[in-house]
Amino acid sequence: MKKPDLLSLPLTLHDLTQHDFYRQILDRCNDGVNVADLQGRLVYANPVSAAYAGSTPNEMIGEDITRFYPKAVLLSVLETQRPVLDKQIHFIGGKKYLVSSFPIYLNGRFCGAYSVFKDIQDIEILNRRIKALEMKLSLSSVEHDPMQIIGNEGSLKEVLRASQRTVGSLGGPRHSIIIGESGTGKTMLARMIYHYAIQVGVLDRQAPFVEINCAQYTNADIAAVEIFGSEEGAYTGSKQKKGLFEQASGGILFLDEAHALEHYQTTLLKAVESGKIRRIGGNREIAVDVIVIAASTHNLKDELLPELYQRLAQYELVLPTLGDRSTSEKEALLHHFIKKYEDAVAQYHGIQYQVRLSPAAREALLKAQYPRNIRQLRDVVNHSIDAASPLISEVQGEVSLTIEVQLKHLPFDCQSESTAVTYTAIEGPVKQMVHQLAGEGLGPRKIARALQQEGWPIEYYQVAYYLKRHLS
């Protein structure tokens, strides 16, 4: 009878313990591990724990744990013989870790305790970043309900009614065009149309809303690939790619700054007329069921092919500038943005926040000229409240707080006759945008182009000089 190959036999628990397998595992663990006897002397510490304590495992063995961890949770377990779960500890150098500690029993006798801990500093930093991003999104979110839009019974009454007709008329949904200066609310209106279409049953609740700014690309070819998709081999390095038209099928495709499509207007016209598209470089026709909303800061009647304009402009929705709106609507917008800031602080920081405006600041904000319209008013309000507010570290434990925004907190010269918010310097929201884009790896020219698309009159050499002085 052939003897079995010893290497082929399964390992037993006894084999593992004999080969010190557990120590090898713990030595490679990403969490810190400490084991102490009844007197609090360390009988084991893994490399992670040693690194925390600025020592080595060999130096720690046999020493009292308090020499390395003065507030060790493990000491409580040695006293009570009860486990301690997920206790947060501040440690040397501002480090923070989450620790759990458990008693050790051998043959029914209590003989020590062990702790397992992990660094949560990075997790807390990430959570703060997520919270900051959520708050930023909350402050810049748009309204969906026309009854909640300021001006629904005033300057926007007719355009809101017409926008509902685009998808709610008995004749079926229609394509439409939205015309308005930067910051007047074109995206808000497009999203309102989308939500109204779902409300009246024209679109399914899971219907997509796909948005693209056609002017964000360096040329129309790139925008076309994004919108219509591409086939492998259509151009050097191209792969098969589903375009936004296909992704929007069954819903709405919002083409902002549609004039930037240039010579691809004929491709868009064919898609609108036939309900079919061809990917760039492809021959196969793909059926799509899409409501197209085109928008622009330009007059699309002058920018689009006459046939395309005729098909899209079955409804042309024109949004007024902030300057064309009444004083009462401007004041309502001002209070709306203040309320959004207060609500965001309450939601993300748990502080009941009240923002007051000094009479002079209120008058300056209402009389100022805003070339970027409502979006710019929102940014100015947020920046002014930021300037008047304390830092997060200064309000720890506060449950309610009231601050006052004064003239000195406004990011423009309130003494000038025109009181125009032109931002010829890199400050306020412009500064925030420059830092964000620079962090994404964009150079001065691309940053300046992005700022100009948003309505900020900043030249690339101004950006280059700022980056050299402040970020180099």
pLDDT in tens, the chain (472 residues): 555 454 454 544 445 445 566 788 888 888 899 999 999 999 999 999 998 888 999 999 999 999 999 888 899 999 999 999 877 666 655 667 888 999 999 888 899 999 998 877 766 666 667 666 666 666 656 555 555 678 888 888 999 999 999 999 988 899 999 998 888 889 999 999 999 999 999 999 999 999 999 988 888 888 899 999 988 877 777 788 899 999 999 999 999 999 999 889 999 999 999 999 999 888 889 999 999 999 998 889 889 999 999 999 989 999 998 988 999 999 999 999 999 999 888 888 888 999 999 998 998 899 888 888 988 899 899 989 999 999 888 887 788 999 999 988 888 655 444 445 544 457 667 788 888 888 888 888 888 888 887 777 776 666 776 776 676 6
Residues 314 and 330 in one domain: no
Residue 260 forms part of a structural domain: yes
Residue 283 forms part of a structural domain: yes
Residues 168 and 114 in one domain: no
Residues 366 and 464 in one domain: yes
User: Is the separation of the CB atoms in 90 and 124 below 8 Å?
Assistant: no
What integer pLDDT is reported at residue 11 of this predicted model?
A: 45
Residue 128 forms part of a structural domain: no
What integer pLDDT is reported at residue 356 of this predicted model?
A: 95
Domain total in the chain: 3
- The Cα–Cα gap between 438 and 424 comes to 19
Residues 111 and 221 in one domain: no
Residue 148 forms part of a structural domain: no
- The Cα–Cα gap between 173 and 16 comes to 70
H-helix or E-strand spanning residue 445 = helix 444-453
Containing structural domain, residue 369: 326-388+402-470
Residues 217 and 271 in one domain: yes
- The Cα–Cα gap between 406 and 416 comes to 16
User: Is the separation of the CB atoms in 383 and 433 below 8 Å?
Assistant: no
Residues 6+ apart with CB under 8 A from 455: 182, 183, 371, 372, 376
Residue 137 forms part of a structural domain: no
Tokens matching residue 202: 């024209």
Residue 346 forms part of a structural domain: yes
Residues 94-98: contacts with CB within 8 Å, 24+ apart? 94/121, 95/52, 95/119, 95/121, 96/120, 96/121, 96/124, 97/32, 97/52, 97/121
Residues 408 and 340 in one domain: yes
Residue 184 forms part of a structural domain: yes
Domain boundary among 303, 319, 335: 319
Q: How far is CA 401 from CA 72, 135, 407, in A?
A: 37, 18, 20
What integer pLDDT is reported at residue 371 of this predicted model?
A: 84
**CATH for 40:** 3.30.450.20
What integer pLDDT is reported at residue 102 of this predicted model?
A: 93
What integer pLDDT is reported at residue 46 of this predicted model?
A: 93
| Strand positions, DSSP E, 267-416 | 276-278, 285-287, 291-296, 316-318, 352-357, 400-405
Residues 261 and 371 in one domain: no
Residues 90 and 179 in one domain: no
Domain boundary among 267, 294, 319: 319
What integer pLDDT is reported at residue 98 of this predicted model?
A: 84
- The Cα–Cα gap between 340 and 148 comes to 13
Domain boundary among 66, 90, 119: 119
Residues 208 and 186 in one domain: yes
What integer pLDDT is reported at residue 2 of this predicted model?
A: 52
What integer pLDDT is reported at residue 217 of this predicted model?
A: 86
**CATH for 214:** 3.40.50.300
Residues 295 and 335 in one domain: no
H-helix or E-strand spanning residue 312 = helix 306-312
Residues 195 and 109 in one domain: no
Residues 115 and 175 in one domain: no
Residue 229 forms part of a structural domain: yes
